[in-house]
Amino acid sequence: MKRDILEILKSYDLKISDAEVKANVKTILDRDFKSLYTIENLKKNFSFIDLTTLNSTDTHARAKSFADNVNNFQNDFDMPNVAAICVYPYQVPTLNENLKAKGVRIAAVAGVFPSSQSYVEVKALECKMAVEKGADDIDIVISVGAFLEGEYQTVFDEIVAQKEASGKAHFKVILETGELKTAENIRKASIIAMEAGADFIKTSTGKVPVNATLEAAYIMTKAITEYYEKTGRMVGFKPAGGISTAKDAIEFYSISKNNLGEAWLNNNWCRIGASSLANNLLTEIHKLETGEETEIKYF
């Protein structure tokens, strides 16, 4: 039976103040950031990373080099590995053949990433094919244009179709929060995605002018908490786009810890979409452990 997302949305209070969100983010960071900036938490954030390469110039050789670097990752600081490598669907078979590191997943963007501007049948087929080729995680983007036109049922139905096509893969739904503009839109999109079956909600593609922000993270994690209280189903959170420094990582971690709690603070429920963050975290951890200003490049 088809579900009516407009009726579902009536059960939520969709009102949220942009100014209040900004003030709450500042309060959390002022209170918690300094105490959370520890080696242990930097290592934990490293384990959240979906190590990402999403360029038009990506080659099979580049995908293989990512797999090789992750396979050969060694360190002197009792570090976990990254959570996943994230690529376009065309590179999934290369990762499936070459990625051997235990516990590291293969993530693929699909559903006509990053624009989501195509027929739902095409989007669903790409999800299905990526899973068949070996993807463990699927990251799709909502139809932002449809959302901005108020076509919430279309947005919902397309997510449902792509979720179904993705089978047992972890299914992450990107809201493209920088294009949604307002706190109310981000909250509404979060609820639509979760009600449609998202296993994770994710901020951004990294392909638009405004990507992950702390304010979007606050809104999304609060929505996750409310959804969990209503349904008992945990949904993960993934900020992505522009997160590159240890400071960035701990700021987002502060918001997640405050709004979600300890049960979410592992890579089953928290991910970070990033590329340069991995090396920067390793460099910062090395500095804090040894006192040496040495740039570390593993990836």
Best CA proximity match to 136, nearest among 166, 97, 106, 103: 106
- Which of 128, 202, 222, 257 is the catalytic position? 202
- Write down the H helix ranges in 50-151: 60-71, 92-98, 120-132, 144-148
Is residue 238 part of the annotated active site? The answer reads yes
CA distance 41 to 130: 33
| Separation between Cα atoms, residue 283 and residue 156, nearest integer Å | 42
Name residue 264's beta-bridge partners: none
CB 223 within 8 A of CB 191: yes
Going by their DSSP bridges, the two strands 170-174 and 137-141 should be labelled as: parallel
Separation between Cα atoms, residue 263 and residue 259, nearest integer Å: 11
Give the H or E element holding residue 32.
helix 18-36
Catalytic residue among 139, 157, 199, 248: 139
Between CA 212 and CA 218, with CA 216 as vertex, the angle to 5 degrees is 125
Nearest C-alpha neighbor of 183 from the set 144, 214, 157, 226: 214
Nearest to 270 by CA among 3, 32, 41: 41
**For the residues of 178-203, what is the DSSP string, one character each?**
HHH-SHHHHHHHHHHHHHTT-SEEE-
> Which entry of 128, 222, 238, 257 is annotated as an active-site residue?
238
> Max Cα separation, the chain?
61
Q: How many residues does the chain have?
A: 299
The residues assigned a catalytic role are 139, 202, 238
